[in-house]
Amino acid sequence: MVVAATFFALMGSFVKLGAQHFSSTELVFWRTLIGALALGGAALWRRERFATPLLRYHLQRGVIGYVSLLMSFYAIAHLPLAMASTLTYTSPMFLALLSVVLLREKLPARAMLGLALGFAGVVLLLRPTLSGDVWFAGLMGLVSGFLAGWSYLHVRELGRQGEAEWRVVFYFALISTIGGLLLMCLERWHAVTWDNAWLLLGVGATATLAQLAMTRAYKVGRKLTAANLSYLTVVFSSLLGALVWGDVLTVDSLLAMGLIVVSGMLASRR
């Protein structure tokens, strides 16, 4: 999970750099295309079966996850890297909330406290954003976290049905690639040159390696430990934001990010 967090933070950096050359829709398309080709090629090499009786769940997860990814990339392109990453990592908080609303699950008091802390952190983190020129990017980041939490409900159901992890990741990448291709019919493609191709390869490679490492962590490690370590992405993103772009976080922002991280850890202890 530490490796996954490192690559997710690096992916955010490539997205932020790539946003100078490509739209968010293009970045998502190339990111998922590279992932689909890599995972699909590996599955063919191992002679895995692509057929699945759970295609409906894959479609639902793929569509929701794709929209979440679009909004996340938009937020990364227009917000400080640490802030965008933190908003995306509100997903455990929303997953806990949706489990109550949609699945009628009961949460312990500790998880309810986590939700309260998380929403307080979101309000504190977005307060300066909503009063500035980048309020829309902040809203997109928050909605991305909500949709990611919703998509994880489908991932959990796929796991309960015994679906192989590689198929969950592959079909998400495939559906997102098809969705990106359809959306790009409505936009103008930017030329891929020797000067910017490395950014696309960086986005795709780091995202694929991060997902594989994360899947491995949840498969062989303790799920609670893995979930808590995933928040290292926020730490690494903060460091990269400060080193590469000179991002300066206020005391309020650091407090808000801390509340959201603690909220996710408590919500994961359900």
For the chain, the first-to-last Cα distance in angstroms comes to 20
Q: Kindly state the tokens that stand for 226.
A: 């893995």
What does the alpha-carbon distance between residue 96 and residue 119 come to, in Å, rounded to a whole number?
12
Give tens-digit pLDDT for 191-235.
999 899 999 999 999 998 888 887 777 767 666 566 667 778 888
Q: Average model confidence (pLDDT) for the chain?
A: 85
Q: What is the pTM assigned to this prediction?
A: 0.85
What does the alpha-carbon distance between residue 34 and residue 47 come to, in Å, rounded to a whole number?
20
Helix (H, G, I), strand (E, B) or coil at 53: coil
pLDDT at residue 69 above 90?
yes
- Please compute the mean of the pLDDT values over residues 133-147 and round it to a whole number: 87
- Please compute the mean of the pLDDT values over residues 57-71 and round it to a whole number: 92
Domain ranges of the chain: 2-267
CA-based nearest residue to 158, from 145, 146, 170, 176 = 170
Residues 6+ apart with CB under 8 A from 39: 166, 169, 170, 173, 208
What does the alpha-carbon distance between residue 109 and residue 92 come to, in Å, rounded to a whole number?
16
